[in-house]
Amino acid sequence: MKSAPLQGSARRRLPMLIEGLASVFLETDQMGDRVRPGAFAASLADGARIPMLWRHRSGALAGVWSHLRETGRGLEVRGLVDDAKPYGKLALQSIRSGLDGLSIGFRPKRWRYRPDGGRDLIEVDLVEISLTANPMAQSARFRAVGT
């Protein structure tokens, strides 16, 4: 049986594998929040799938996170950006143009106010992790590692 090559818009690239730190422990972000080690432990333990979104837009799925874990540095992530999803296609184009920021969407569960006016986040409910150009935590970055 012969097969014909895919033509035009039917042609599809492979998903892009990315990895990085979605949150960096003890780094003060632009809002004055600082995530403490262990803040994600309960949220990760419940096993809920955390969506990969485009710029915190609800429903704007860009791919899937396959690996989430706390390390000594922060929340380490790995996932596939998928061009079969409309926002995944936009994300891939942006990554190829230099996009490398990550940002977490969360609900604070336990925190402590600091004298400088910021918050130390002791426990958070992780809701989503977004690909973004301007992360609140400047060190929250990813890199493409393959397809």
Residue 69 within any structural domain of the chain: yes
- Which domain does 84 fall in, by range? 14-146
**What phi, psi does 39 have (nearest 5°)?**
-60, -25
Residues shown for the chain: 147
Residue 117 within any structural domain of the chain: yes
Residue 9 within any structural domain of the chain: no
Could you tell me which of 116, 110, 104, 111 has the C-alpha nearest to residue 50?
104
Residue 79 within any structural domain of the chain: yes
Give the C-alpha separation, 55 to 38, whole Å. 25
Residue 61 within any structural domain of the chain: yes
Return the CATH number at 71.
Answer: 3.20.16.10
Residue 89 within any structural domain of the chain: yes
For residue 34, CA distances in Å to 53, 60, 82 come to 22, 27, 31
Model pLDDT for residues 10-62, shown as the tens digit of each residue: 455 678 999 999 999 999 999 999 999 999 999 999 988 999 999 999 999 99
Residue 54 within any structural domain of the chain: yes
Helices (H) and strands (E) in the chain, counts: 2, 8
Write out the DSSP string of 1-55.
---PPP-GGG--PPPEEEEEEEEETT-B-TTSEEEPTTTTHHHHHTTPPPEEEET
Residue 3 within any structural domain of the chain: no
The count of structural domains within the chain is 1
Model pLDDT for residues 93-146, shown as the tens digit of each residue: 999 999 999 999 999 999 999 999 999 999 999 999 999 999 999 999 999 998
Could you tell me which of 61, 63, 83, 72 has the C-alpha nearest to residue 19?
63
Provide the whole-model pTM: 0.89
